[in-house]
Amino acid sequence: MASMNTVLFISFLLFSVGVAGVLIRRNALVILMCVELMLNAANLNLIAFARHAGTVAGQAFALLVMGLAAAEVAIGLALVVALYRKRDTIQVDNINLLKG
């Protein structure tokens, strides 16, 4: 079995890559995927903590997080498509007005 420290370290690396991607990329699609990476890092932690505590609650929470991630992707991709129709770009630098 993997030790707790290994799991935390891997999850930390995944989360950091996700944060860096959200902060430095300009492509809205890549930013959405990096948010997914952060959610996955959190899921990994939830499962590891559930094993550590000897309960199943963390796995149930991870399932809920997966459902939320699916909802977020649906809304996010619809927003991206709508933006592309309206502004003809998905580079976040060019989308800097709330009023389209």
Please list every residue from 15 through 34 that binds another protein, using CB under 8 A.
16-21, 23-27, 29-30, 32-34
Distance of closest approach, residue 82 Cβ to another protein, in angstroms: 5
The C-alpha atoms of residue 80 and residue 30 are separated, in whole angstroms, by: 11
The DSSP-derived string for 56-86 is SHHHHHHHHHHHHHHHHHHHHHHHHHHHHHH
Please list every residue from 38 through 97 that binds another protein, using CB under 8 A.
40, 43-44, 47-48, 51-57, 59-64, 66-75, 77-82, 84-85, 89-93
The C-alpha atoms of residue 98 and residue 82 are separated, in whole angstroms, by: 14
Among 1, 96, 97, 99, the residue binding another protein under the rule CB under 8 A is 1
